[in-house]
Amino acid sequence: MVLPDPSARNRAPKNATSAERIVGNQEEVNMNNSVLLGALTVVGLAAGTSHAATLDDVKARGALNCGVNTGLVGFAAPDANGVWDGFDIGLCRAVAAAIFGDPNAVNFIPTTGQTRFTALASGEVDVLIRNSTWTYSRDTDLKFDWVGVNYYDGQGFLAPAALGVSSAKELDGATVCIQTGTTTELNLADFFRVNNITYEPVPVATDAEAQQQYLAGACDVFTTDASGLAATRATFEKPEEHILLPEIISKEPLGPLVRHGDNAWGDIIRWTYNALLSAEELGITSANVAEMAAAPTNNPEINRILGTEGEMGAMMGLEPNWAVNAIAAGGNYGELFEKNIGENTPIGLARGLNALWTQGGLQYSPPFR
Contact status, residue 249 vs residue 184, Cβ threshold 8 Å: no
Is the residue at 259 inside a domain?
Answer: yes
Q: How far apart are CA 113 and CA 147, in angstroms?
A: 19
**What Å distances lie between residue 158 and 74, 162, 176, 189, CA to CA?**
17, 12, 10, 17
Contact status, residue 349 vs residue 341, Cβ threshold 8 Å: yes
Domain region containing 348: 55-151+254-359
What is the per-residue pLDDT across 256-266, written as a single tens digit (0 to 9) for each? 999 999 999 99
Q: How far apart are CA 82 and CA 45, in angstroms?
A: 35
Q: CB neighbours (10 Å) of residue 366?
A: 10
Same domain, 263 and 332: yes
Closest residue by Cα to residue 48 from 140, 128, 137: 140
* Residue at which a domain ends, from 188, 217, 250: 250
Question: How much is the pTM?
Answer: 0.82
Q: How far apart are CA 21 and CA 258, in angstroms?
A: 41
Tell me the average pLDDT of the chain: 88
Closest residue by Cα to residue 364 from 132, 148, 144: 148
Same domain, 188 and 281: no
Same domain, 348 and 306: yes
* Residue at which a domain ends, from 250, 277, 298: 250
Is the residue at 186 inside a domain?
Answer: yes
User: Does residue 311 have a pLDDT over 50?
Assistant: yes
How large is the average pLDDT for residues 273-299?
A: 96
Q: How far apart are CA 320 and CA 147, in angstroms?
A: 22
Same domain, 143 and 163: no
Per-residue pLDDT, 183: 85
**What Å distances lie between residue 232 and 87, 181, 266, 347, CA to CA?**
15, 19, 31, 8
Q: Give the 3-state secondary structure of residue 66.
A: strand
Is the residue at 182 inside a domain?
Answer: yes
User: Does residue 300 have a pLDDT over 50?
Assistant: yes
Pick from 49-53, 116-120, 170-174: least confident: 49-53
Q: What is the DSSP letter of 86?
A: S
What is the per-residue pLDDT across 99-149, written as a single tens digit (0 to 9) for each? 999 999 999 999 998 899 999 999 999 999 999 999 999 999 999 999 999
Consecutive H or E run containing 131 = none
Residue 43 pLDDT class (50, 70, 90 cuts): very low
Per-residue pLDDT, 207: 83
Q: How far apart are CA 249 and CA 223, in angstroms?
A: 10
What is the per-residue pLDDT across 340-367, written as a single tens digit (0 to 9) for each? 999 999 999 999 999 999 999 999 999 9
More confident residue, 153 or 179: 153
Q: CB neighbours (10 Å) of residue 33?
A: 14
Is the residue at 230 inside a domain?
Answer: yes
Structural domain count, the chain = 2
Q: What is the DSSP letter of 62?
A: T
User: Does residue 51 have a pLDDT over 70?
Assistant: no
Q: What is the CA radius of gyration of the chain?
A: 22
Per-residue pLDDT, 1: 52
CATH of the domain at 307: 3.40.190.10
From the centroid of its chain, how far is CA 300?
Answer: 33
Same domain, 102 and 185: no
Q: How far apart are CA 350 and CA 344, in angstroms?
A: 9
User: Does residue 24 have a pLDDT over 80?
Assistant: no
| 300 Cβ contact partners less than 8 Å away, ≥ 6 residues apart | 309
Per-residue pLDDT, 52: 41
Same domain, 163 and 136: no
Closest residue by Cα to residue 179 from 252, 269, 109: 252
Q: Give the 3-state secondary structure of residue 147.
A: coil
Same domain, 59 and 107: yes
Residue 19 pLDDT class (50, 70, 90 cuts): very low
What is the per-residue pLDDT across 244-255, written as a single tens digit (0 to 9) for each? 999 999 999 999
What is the per-residue pLDDT across 185-233, written as a single tens digit (0 to 9) for each? 899 999 999 999 999 999 998 888 999 999 999 999 999 999 999 999 9
* Residue at which a domain ends, from 216, 250, 284: 250
